[in-house]
Every structure is written in structure tokens, then in C-alpha cells.
Amino acid sequence: MSKRALTGARILTPLGWIDDHALLVEPPTIIGIVPATDIPAGFEIEQLVGGHLVPGFLDTQVNGGGGVLFNDSPTIDGIRTIAEAHRRFGTTALLPTLISDDLVVIARGIAAVREAIATGVPGVIGIHIEGPFLNERKKGIHDGAKLREMDGAAVDLLASLGVGKTLVTLAPETVRPGLIAALTARGVVVSAGHTLATSEEMDRAMDEGLGAMTHLYNAMPPLAGREPGSVGTALSSPLICGLIVDGHHVHPTALKAAFRAKGPDELMLVTDAMPTVGSDIVRFHIGDVEIVREAGALRSAEGTLAGSDLDMIAAVRNAVAMMQVDLETACHMASATPAALLRLAGMHGRLAPGARADIVHLTDALDVAGTWIGGVS
């Protein structure tokens, strides 16, 4: 693969925006940033027409896309379709996400992700297993019949990927002491979600290595003065919290409150995307439950939100508008913060020498004009 110099757009570096420079790429790595007048010999120049070069977006919660739900197609072909659908919206790295299901389906999903990474499916860096170790009273759209208790065999399964990154969402109050520590000791990143945990139960989970909160505010009780619960713990601790910024899951005032409490290093944008993203379909099923897309939201007939119809560039634009942050900050929450959660901060989420060349070219209107994964467009 040839060495390339991307020039003609503003570049978002870890130190801020720079103009009139070129990003030097030797796949799969960024090898330098130089003035546009000093591009070394041997680089093929790719002249961009304005806009912004930003780190590729990293989405830790992708249930589906391109008409495919990962639970229904826990295969390499299903994963490839999902990744291709989300790449069009600036996602250059993702965790295909299984919602609560039987352990045999989880095993198939893990095997498919292992194969996708081994064969180099662009953008696939691991798996997110959301459930089935959740609180039935906060299950949301998850099938209550699939929920179960965690045991040693489940820990072995959850930690079995062997490559890439594994993120597991569980309700801390449903998991007996020691099992979160067992997961984190084997490299699994553990997040709290679909939970009724008290602040004391959250503290115990953090002592065992809990590192994140899945879709903050959603599928958990609200903060109260004498019962801070999981929301209070999340806002007052270093937990990295995912936010679904689609205008349906969280009110803009609550988004701004989270930002004031946490800042961009502890908030990450996620899509919680379903098969409608990158597809013309307007309805699909989760098990026997029909989900319909209407007015930008996905709901069951009972009105329960069922993931989202959100893509990452829309999440970035919404963060700018609803959270009233600048583009640099929104991109940080879409790339650097999730990379830090997954312990990939040196390679993902930044445009700097030595980092992986996962790059998005945005127009001035904040549409995706192009992407590079590992330096390949």
C-alpha cells in the first residue's frame, strides 16, 4: 500500500486544530504531520477540498445496521454488513453488540467476532455483550425470558474472545461478589446498565473493577437526594459513561448536566444502533416483538424505546447542538474517550504520529466525505 499525504483540510490533533498541514499515512499508521509545503518525496498526495480531518469514531454499542441485527446474524457476514453500514457515518472502529440472549447465541457471536478480527473485517475491534445478566425490572426491550444469573461458566464464556476487546454490561446488584473482579482480571471491561443498583452496590462493583456506565440515565432510576443510585455514582465518580444523544433517550438539559459533572474525558457518544441505520427498513423484530421506526425513534407497540436509529456523525452533530459543545469536544467524546475505556488510547482516537490511521473527513456542514481505516479508504 502506498504512502499518502492527506492535505487541504483542517486537522484535529491532540493539541487542537491546525491548518495548512498534511497528515502522512503509511498504512496502517500515521507517521507524521507536516506543513503542506514540506510533504516528503515518495508520498502520494490526496488533495481534499476543505473540511476537517478528525479521528475515526469508535462506537462501543452497535446492535445492528444495514438491515442486520447482530443477535439474528451472529456471523462474520452479519458483522461485515453492520460494520460497512456504520462506516458511511464515520465509524471506523466498533464493538458489535449482542443484547440479552441464550448463551449458545453469545458463544456464536464471540466466535464470529474472533473470525472477523482474524480475517481483517475493517473496523471490528471486539464485542459488547449487553446482558443477559441484567435486572428484570429495568430490562427495557430486552427479553426477560433470556435473563439469568452469572456463574463461573458464564465468566469463562464472556472472557473467551482471546483477541480484541470485550465489553460486558451487567446489573451489579444481580452479580454475586467476586465475579466482576473475575471478569476484569481476565481483561474484560465491565459496565453497569439495566440496573437498580444502590450507590453502595455501585461502590462495591467499582472496587472490583467496574469501569463504565451503559447509556447513562436510561434503564436505571433517576438521581434522588437520599437515593443517589447508579446515576449519582456515575456522575460523582470516574466511571466513563455512554450517552445516546438522539433527542429521544435523554433530555438536552440532562445531557448538559452530565457534561458539567463529567467533562469530555468521562463521557462517550454511543449509538445503540439497530438494523435501521444505513438501511431503508422501518420495522424489524427483536425476538417476537416488532419494533417500528417513527419520527427518528425506535419503539415497540407499548412505546418502549428499542435502541436507536442514530449514527455516529449524527451523534456528533447532536452533541454540538444539544450539549452546546464545540466540534473538537464532540469528536473527543466519539473517539478518544471510548478508546480510553477500551485501553486503546495510544492507537485509536487521535491523529498523531504512531497512532492507527483511522480517519474521518468531514465537510464544513459536518457530513462524512470519506473515511480511512488503517490508512485504507
The single residue of 59, 101, 143, 272 carrying the catalytic annotation is 272
**Whole-angstrom distance, CA of residue 172 vs CA of residue 30:** 40
Spatial separation of the C-alpha atoms in residues 323 and 321, rounded to whole Å: 6
- Alpha carbon distance 103, 367 (integer Å): 39
Annotated catalytic residue 309: no
* Best CA proximity match to 284, nearest among 100, 72, 128: 72
Per-residue b/e over 159-188, b at no fewer than 16 CB within 10 Å?
bebeebbbbbbbbbbbbeeebbebbbeeeb
| Beta-carbon count within 10 A of 3 CB | 14
* Backbone φ and ψ of 334, nearest 5°: -95, -5
Residue that has been written with the C-alpha cell 481505516 in this structure: 373
Nearest to 315, CA basis, from 60, 114, 119: 60
Which amino acids are annotated catalytic?
272
